[in-house]
Amino acid sequence: MAKANMIAVIDYGAGNIRNVMKAINYVGLPAKLTKDPQEIAQAAGVVIPGVGAFKTAMEQMQANELVVPIQRAAKSGTPILGVCLGMQLLFDSSTEFGKTTGLGLIPGEVVELPQNSGYKVPQMGWNENIVQQASPITTGLAGEYTYFVHSYYVQTAAEYIAATVDYGVQVPSVVNKDNIWGAQFHPEKSGDVGLKVWQAFAKMVEENA
């Protein structure tokens, strides 16, 4: 049985944990930073935070034996939200510093933003979201600006893309497959718009608890 609304924030040494924890607490849910498989299994929701490199993150995930517990939580129907690098980790693989296998929760590959598009790499700053599919996470997101910091982006099928931003290429900003969600931007750094994302996720968690 799931704990009452507890969010397991995956602890694999990623940055920006404090802001993520504060944002989750702000929308009324208790959050616990954990690498304990039992706590991940019992959580009503799972958040995968992160800034940095895909390869290093997956090495830390493997070293801390977190991959299987996250995959099991996903399979059980637990709502999962990956943020920034955490979103990229949801996919099959990345080309960053050599091909690296990801969590495999959504089909697709993470590749470098094009260097010849006239846009600076990394994308760093605010960009306007274009909603591709109506969903709880994208409600109120159309035409709104959110904060991005990344050099790589996801290439995946249209069916998994809930919102995009234009950065020389169409960059998926929100992705979804069943109970798995990802935001390429930082909701915790995106003001009121970002808080709506956390609130939408909180509602999913409460319904799942």
Q: Higher confidence at residue 1 or residue 55?
A: 55
Angle at 88 between CA 97 and CA 94, to 5 degrees: 30
188 catalytic? Reply is: yes
Q: What is the phi/psi pair of residue 41, to 5°?
A: -65, -35
The CA distance from 186 to 61, in Å, is 21
159 catalytic? Reply is: no
186 catalytic? Reply is: yes
Catalytic residue among 96, 144, 186, 206: 186
pLDDT band at 177 (very low <50, low <70, confident <90, very high): very high
Catalytic residue among 159, 188, 206, 207: 188
Task: Kindly report the pTM of this predicted structure.
Answer: 0.95
Catalytic residue among 84, 96, 144, 150: 84
- For residue 121, the model assigns a pLDDT of 95
Q: What is the pLDDT of residues 79-116, one digit of tens each?
A: 999 999 999 999 999 999 999 999 999 999 999 999 98
Average pLDDT along the chain? 94
Q: Ramachandran region of residue 122, left (φ > 0), alpha (ψ -120 to 50) or beta? A: beta
pLDDT band at 190 (very low <50, low <70, confident <90, very high): very high
